[in-house]
Structure 1
Amino acid sequence: MWIKWMAIVGVLIVVSLGIAAIYGSYRWQLNTDKLRAKLINGQRTIKPKIYDQKELEGLPEPVQRFFRTVIKDGQAIVSAVKLSQQGLFNLSETEDKWSPFTATQFVTTQRRGFDWDARIQMTPGVNAFVHDTYLLGEGSLYASLIGLFTIADVHGTPENNQGELLRFLAETPWYPTALLPSQGVRWEAINDTSARATLTDGETTVSLVFQFNAEGAIATMRAEARYRDKLTAMPWCGRFGEYSVRNGMLIPLEGEVGWEYPEGIRLYFKGRITEIEYEFAS
């Protein structure tokens, strides 16, 4: 008899967990919809609406070569991006503990912002839901187990705002018209293969050094200091690869990101874009 009751209890537990997961996913999606509605409502008019290669005059030579490589004269300026990703995320800071993830991301280029909505596998069948967001000048990171139990909630600090705006700038190779001077980016020469890009949004200003490959596309990015928390800032870097043409723009489909320690780079993200759609200024 006790075996029968144990089986019943086991079934009830499985059903309860299933219901909790469904409810958590539903509640999480409602929050995602709200965040992305705010991004859409916060959009600003983009000018100019079409890229004119006259913008390149006076820019560092590797930057001019980059724009000539990845976009053509007359390219419409990107206003929003929707993409899907899959890859691996390292859950440990001291060892390799890679877990698969899937994510969708929505980006607006004016006003600058994004929402990364990810599912990272913690254990088989159990996911951490993550919102990494930059919205109306404020960065936030919120993570929840199965969409119900909060495990991280950081938002609104100057350090987090800096970190999330850096992420926006680092991901502009996916929407390269956002790197044009007309879209607010200032470029400084470093050498024949790299240049510094600086972006200001409200009270936050960030800079990245982009290094360009032999073809002229962006190969790597590096920030001298990105805040990991309120007290700790470290060099932060990434690599791009597998370039492909999408909507007339040459963009990378693969990338990896990590922190730069004295002993070397420790990666925490390896991802690939599986789908990408653009909206353009009109």
Structure 2
Amino acid sequence: MRGILGIFAAVLAVLYQKSVWNFTAQSDKAIADLLASSSTHPPFAEFETLPAPVQRWLKNSGAVGRQGIKCVRLKQTGWMKLKPEQRKWTKAEAEQVITTLPPSFVWTVKMKMNPFMPVIGKDSFKDGKAQMLIKMAALVPLAQVEGDAKTNESALQRFLMEMAWYPTAALLPYLVWKEEDGTAAEATMSINGVTGSATFHINEQGELIRITALRFKDNGNEAKRFPCVAEIKRQMNVDGFTIPAEIEITWLLEEGPFTWYKFSVHDVEIT
């Protein structure tokens, strides 16, 4: 019996390693495709035409007078909760590549729900379309979504909310800005029939303190939009740009706030 169990375990180990290799290869190809399609920025919008809060943020972030950011690579170390009732946090290690023209990203994550259940996942956004894949033990699909209208919209809004890492994108012509008050401005973007908005909250010193958006949390028929809040807890300087170093993501659900992801950023490359 032990011999049979040993053979079974060995086969599972081989399948797991092969699946991880395939997943990594697919992710690497998606990143390569994304970088290959990245192009040079068109002329920027006039700085003076932006809402006053956005002007303060761009000055404070070091984006004024700089060449436009084409790509950001970064790693994240954080903690997740997949459900509000989940008591324990799950550690997550993630990597992300973002291009600003076209607006695209690939985000991959590895985590362990328990010592015997490794989980890998990938979120991507390109040409207005989103893909999401989550696998248990790199073998069993837990969630797989592609081309869903609600997911597309939510991914576009995620790109907007993460603009804190590539602030020169605020000047690109695919964004329409609208000042809400002296400390907030809304950015709206449309691409291939998908439209989304996010609001940037900026204090008098020009510090970006949080970003909010009304997003779909799920993609089912009954899915609703809920406020999603990215709270910037700490900033850092990379190549002269002031960008977020620690962030907490919270959904404001009907039953109350649900902080599902808190993480720090490291190994950032800006080009």
Instruction: Say whether the fold is shared (TM-score over 0.5).
Output: yes
Report the alpha carbon displacement of residue 162 of structure 1 after superposing the two structures with TM: 0.1
Report the alpha carbon displacement of residue 9 of structure 1 after superposing the two structures with TM: 4.2
Report the alpha carbon displacement of residue 189 of structure 1 after superposing the two structures with TM: 1.1
- Which of the residues 141, 155, 178 maps onto 1:164? 155
Residue aligning to 2:68: 77
- Which letter does structure 1 place at the counterpart of 2:199? V
- Shift in alpha-carbon separation, 1:198–1:248, aligned structure 2, 3 A: same
Identity among equivalent positions (%) equals 26
**C-alpha contact (below 8 Å) 1:84/1:273 kept by paired residues:** yes
- Cα-to-partner distance string for 1:3-61 (whole Å, 9 max, x where unaligned): xx53x44543443333222112111111102211221233233123xx7xx83213222
Greater than 6 Å deviation, 4+ residue runs: none
- Cα-to-partner distance string for 1:246-270 (whole Å, 9 max, x where unaligned): 1111001111112112443101111
What is the rounded CA distance, in whole Å, between the counterparts of 2:27 and 2:75 in structure 1?
A: 14
- Which of the residues 134, 137, 140 maps onto 1:146? 137
Residue aligning to 2:266: 274
Report the alpha carbon displacement of residue 278 of structure 1 after superposing the two structures with TM: 1.7
- Shift in alpha-carbon separation, 1:225–1:163, aligned structure 2, 3 A: closer
What is the rounded CA distance, in whole Å, between the counterparts of 1:199 and 1:189 in structure 2?
A: 15
- Which of the residues 13, 17, 32 maps onto 2:12? 17
Report the alpha carbon displacement of residue 112 of structure 1 after superposing the two structures with TM: 0.7
Residue aligning to 1:226: 216
After superposing the two structures, state which structure 1 stretch, 71-80 or 202-211, moved more. Answer: 71-80
Report the alpha carbon displacement of residue 185 of structure 1 after superposing the two structures with TM: 1.7
Write the mapping of 1:218-257 to structure 2, written as runs, cut at 5 A.
Answer: 218-230=208-220, 231-232=222-223, 233-257=225-249
What is the rounded CA distance, in whole Å, between the counterparts of 2:174 and 2:202 in structure 1?
A: 20
**C-alpha contact (below 8 Å) 1:166/1:226 kept by paired residues:** no
After superposing the two structures, state which structure 1 stretch, 147-156 or 88-97, moved more. Answer: 88-97
Please give the secondary structure, in 1, of the residue aligned with 2:42: coil
- Which letter does structure 2 place at the counterpart of 1:65? R
> Unaligned stretches of 5+ in structure 2?
none
What is the rounded CA distance, in whole Å, between the counterparts of 2:49 and 2:37 in structure 1?
A: 32
Residue aligning to 1:90: 81
TM-score (norm 2): 0.92
**C-alpha contact (below 8 Å) 2:233/2:245 kept by paired residues:** yes
> Unaligned stretches of 5+ in structure 1?
none
Report the alpha carbon displacement of residue 124 of structure 1 after superposing the two structures with TM: 1.0
User: Considering only CA atoms, is the larger Rg found in Structure 1 or Structure 2?
Assistant: 1
What is the rounded CA distance, in whole Å, between the counterparts of 1:194 and 1:277 in structure 2?
A: 28
Question: Across the two proteins, how many residue pairs are aligned to each other?
Answer: 269
Please give the secondary structure, in 2, of the residue aligned with 1:219: strand
**C-alpha contact (below 8 Å) 1:75/1:248 kept by paired residues:** no
What is the rounded CA distance, in whole Å, between the counterparts of 2:268 and 2:39 in structure 1?
A: 22
**C-alpha contact (below 8 Å) 1:222/1:238 kept by paired residues:** yes
- Which letter does structure 1 place at the counterpart of 2:206? G
Write the mapping of 1:1-282 to structure 2, written as runs, cut at 5 A.
Answer: 6=2, 8-48=3-43, 55-180=46-171, 182-230=172-220, 231-232=222-223, 233-279=225-271
TM-score (norm 1): 0.88
